[in-house]
Amino acid sequence: MSELLRSGAADLAARIATGEVSAREVARAHLDRIDAVDDGVRAFLHVDAERALAAADAVDARRAAGERLGPLAGVPLAVKDIFCMTGVPTTAGSRILEGWRPPYDSTVVRRVRDAGLVVLGKTNLDEFAMGSSTENSGYFTTHNPWDHDRIPGGSGGGSAAALASFEAPLALGTDTGGSIRQPASVTGTVGVKPTYGGTSRYGVIAMASSLDQPGPCGRTVLDTALLHEVIAGWDPMDSTSIDAPVPDVVAAARQGDVTGLRLGVVKELGGEGYAPGVNLRFREALAALEAAGAEIVEVSCPNFRYALGAYYLIMPSEVSSNLARFDAMRYGLRVGDDGTAGAEEVMARSRDAGFGEEVKRRIIIGTYALSSGYYDAYYGSAQKARTLIARDFENAFESVDVLVSPSTPTTAFRIGERTGDPLAMYAADLCTIPSNMAGNAAGSFPCGLAPEDGLPVGFQVMAPVLADDRVYRVGAALERELAARWGGLLTDQLWARENGADENGGAL
């Protein structure tokens, strides 16, 4: 069983395709792992064992019939509970949608099902994807597998924790301001935000429509690229979907050659104010990539300093609009309907009971920013800053192939440490937000453990729009160089530590 759990998705798919192992055996091993460890990790909101085993049996039947299987057929997958799935509870981490079962699949879910992936269940998240720690879930807090007293990142902490705890080899997430990359960073896993419009938002419960983007999560660069290839591509159901060829991310992940590639280190994202261990591991990663043939140069993106403030005006404004649909009239929680209360009173009671404090905070901020007399001063100004940030990217990409930075300023902080300080919580997304504002591709890759606390550090790669393959090219080179030093993946060290033996022995 341990061999199946530690195997990568690509390896599992190959073994299933040859008949060395059945899809049912693989699914059963991961379901048993969830049963064994998820009481401590709390990655899953809903485990769908019966459907998962049925899906695995279907893959085995297709293989037995001689059907040609896709590159990930039979591989288990965890899905962030913001993707609609037919007949499966979909809550977006909010009590206001408790028990809701959508009548349709999101496009991304339909694509992974069509490709033969086996959905294990739905993972926990900050309510409506609003948060950087998964402490804002309406149900419970997810714990970081490296240290259960620490956060697993957010909003997609459940998906990242499921990967790091070997409960699933692949996961789906969404990234609005770093909700794939920041959890990947603090759990030692891989997470990529595709170019905006590169993956369909149809059937993804909206938080901020101009920023949200579904993306793949895995423990290796190749596994993540294989999932990216499955979910990406034009979708007529999404008006923001890009009708253009999907970059060959799988070839880039297999290649991992950075010879002659120019990497721009963003001066504004790093240095003072960043944890010493984060700066140290980031510099070591740069040295490894330089030794592999990359050219390292410093780049200034002066308007990135406005990204955090502008984001926290644009995003809440879109939240205010999107969450108006949860009105207790058509579906979801309905409170106070005693026959005497009017519609407005029922709506107010339901929203008060169903929304958490962070959601209410952002609705209020957004409504204020859009209000008469303040629109130009706040929302309008934030959009101007967004344009300047996009221009910084365009200018930088004239002289470098990708931009790089730490994925987040610190390692995973302690549960409860920042819940009373929203501004400190928001700062966790300092490095990731610029790419959401501009819409370009970006990913986070493990680059070691910080010496002061022994927790994972992430290395962020940002590429131009529709150059997602460059993200994987650099990530694969970094993975290869560091794995040679460590004797394996970063998560292999976690497995070895949990099982009482240093199976890899690499210096971190």
Q: 3-class SS at 107? A: helix
Could you give the C-alpha distances from 337 to 71, 271, 341, 347, 354, in angstroms and in order?
51, 55, 6, 9, 14
Contact 505, 492 (CB under 8 A): no
- Beta strand segments in 329-426, E: 402-406
Helix (H) or strand (E) holding 119: strand 118-123
Pairing of strands 402-406, 456-463: antiparallel
Q: How far apart are CA 250 and CA 126, in angstroms?
A: 30
Q: How far apart are CA 151 and CA 132, in angstroms?
A: 9
Please identify every residue annotated as catalytic: 80, 155, 179
Q: 3-class SS at 164? A: helix
Paired tokens of 206: 């909206």
CA 148, 271, 397 angle in degrees (round to 5)? 105
Where do runs of H (alpha helix) occur along 152-215? 157-164, 181-187
CB atoms within 10 A of CB 139: 16
Paired tokens of 43: 């990655």
